[in-house]
Amino acid sequence: MTTTLSRLDCALAALPRSFPGPGGAAAVLRDGEVLARHAWGWANAERRIPFTPRSLFRMCSVTKQFTCGLVLDAFPDPTVLDADIRARLPLLEGEAPGALHLCHNQSGLRDYWAVAMLHGAPAESPFGDREAGRVIAGTRSLQFAPGTRYSYVNQNFRLLSDILEARTGRGFGELLRTRIFDRAGMGSAFLAADTRAMPDGTEGYEGTQAGGFRAAENRVLWTGDAGLGATLDDMIAWERHIDATRDDPEALYSRLSAPVTFANGAAAPYGFGLGRTTEFGRPITGHGGALRGWRSHRLYVPSERISVVVLFNHMSDANAAALDLLAATLGEERAKPAADLPVPDWLGSYIEPETGLSARADMVDGRVRLRFGHSAEKLELQPDGSAGSGRTRLRPAADGLWLDRPQENQSSRLVPCPGDAATDLSGRYRCDELEAELEVVDAGGALYGGFSGFLGQGRMEHLDPVGPDVWTLPCPRALDHTPPGDWTLVFRRDGTGRVSEVEVGCWLARRLRYERIG
């Protein structure tokens, strides 16, 4: 135990240097007992308020497991809520997702934070109940059949919390307090729906150590998707509650962490607001959270009865920090990539046929950078000529390059995009489904694009060519902490060769058709 504590002390001491920022807090528990509880820096650097284990923090998407916990507690058979979901999607054509599809991020809905950008939302614009309701109620189609794939969709959990309120006649914050927080001993946890300020003055920060930090501006109203406010001590209480009830199959966390599958029976690595993964050869459940200025991560290793919680009031990688603490607790080393492997000959630009999204692979710092999802992924080269991470694999085969995304229940052969992109694309394009527009402008020989809709007029961004009639429109900032990534624009021509429409999509919101109107 002394060796473990020594390793853990060293790992904790390294966090402020490895993940620099205004402040943070972390805890490690084993067998329900606290091995480490530490905070450093400033909850509010301008007001010189120290960051302590009792500082309130925006847990963001860690909220999702608590929303699902309320669903299971109030409605042990969540399918009784299926009709409520259909009623909140009045324009949806075809099959509607059920409550379990929402809990497992298998709904097929497009994420409303991404769709909001298509409606022209500026990054710091207000987004509350009215805006959320209009985006959700305007849904006319799904991006895949419910239960067949995985895609991270925040409003899955907002819908669930809204339905819980309507069904019980009680506010979501009250439900969290009486059904979970009080039972788990989370004395100061609360629903922090308004992201503009925390009651104790704790602030979230954007920026870097090199470029400086500034207070992040958020004007979003979160509910069941990311509204939890809690302290490190609250999260310690949650982890102790999990461990204390670990042997009860009917306990809340036992039900939340039970195995989940896709419609075809394949194991799903996400369910009930929890990710299921393996680290250091051991199964783990957990989740991260992020809003502009805030990053958090919690994980639980049932075989070792170890919990780790990391909170940053800046944008450093809380997941990586949590894994550093876990490695120290277990006495394990983080895996090192294979050295001196040749650069693969399959690097380049592709289209993934099911989603219609571009997939661009190049080399950065000795690893393959894949730009496909909502952020670039770094894949380690393998001796067999493939490259992968725990979530994604690129593998060459006799018939081409394959992209495997097992967490999404998807594997597909990528379609190469060789050749130069034509530039005769200027014009206005309209998406009838969204009642929104895209404008493409040739500004002095450079192409720019911008979205507009009922939320405003988004900024014009410089388009990046991928291949013939395939471009990307970057979205470096968005309402949510993580931008939706590059939008893929696939232009199509009529019989005369004139561009007549464009298909727009990103990993969070795919295959939306825009017709040229000018």
Share of the chain above pLDDT 70, in %: 99
Q: Is the pLDDT of residue 337 over 80?
A: no
What does the pLDDT read at residue 88?
Answer: 97
CA distance 494 to 501: 9
Q: How far is Cα 471 from Cα 350, in angstroms, rounded to an integer?
A: 11
Query: Which residues 6+ apart lie within 8 Å of 233 measured at CB?
Result: 37, 53, 54, 187, 188
Q: What is the mean pLDDT of residues 242-267?
A: 97
Give the pLDDT score at 1. Answer: 62
Is residue 334 predicted with pLDDT exceeding 90? no
* pLDDT at 313 > cutoff 70: yes
Q: Where are the domains of the chain?
A: 2-108+144-330, 348-416, 427-516
Band the pLDDT of 476: cuts 50, 70, 90.
confident
Report the chain's mean pLDDT, rounded to a whole number. 95
- 427-516 shares the fold of 2-108+144-330: no
**pLDDT over 90 for what percent of the chain?**
91
Backbone angles phi, psi at 473, to 5 degrees: -115, 110
Tokens of 146: 């419910």
CATH 2.40.160.150 fits domain 348-416: no
What class, spelled out in words, does domain 2-108+144-330 have in CATH? Answer: alpha beta
Both structure tokens of 105: 């991020």
pLDDT digit string (tens) for 361-371? 999 989 999 99
Q: 363: closest CA among 350, 389, 381, 375? A: 381
Rounded to an integer, the average pLDDT of 109-121 is 96
Average pLDDT over residues 408-436: 96
Cα(219)–Cα(101) distance, integer angstroms: 29
pLDDT of residue 395: 97
- In the predicted model, what is the mean pLDDT of residues 378-406? 95
Model confidence pLDDT, tens digit, residues 254-264? 999 999 999 99
**Which residues, 6 or more positions from 322, have their beta carbon under 8 angstroms from its beta carbon?**
26, 286, 297, 298, 299, 308, 309, 310
Q: What is the pLDDT of residues 73-82, one digit of tens each?
A: 999 999 999 9
In whole angstroms, what is the distance from residue 448 CA to residue 454 CA?
Answer: 21
- Decide if pLDDT at 485 tops 90: no
Average pLDDT over residues 458-469: 96
| Sign of torsion over alpha carbons 87, 90, 92, 95 | positive
pTM as predicted: 0.96
pLDDT at 477 over 90: no
pLDDT of residue 5: 76
Q: Which residues are catalytic?
A: 61, 64
pLDDT of 220 above 80: yes
Q: Say if domain 427-516 classifies as CATH 3.40.50.150.
A: no
Instruction: Decide: 145 and 108 in contact? Cβ < 8 Å.
Output: yes
| pLDDT confidence tier of residue 2, bands split at 50, 70 and 90 | low
Q: 4, 35 in Cβ contact below 8 A?
A: yes
pLDDT digits (tens, 9 = 90+) for 101-110: 999 999 999 9
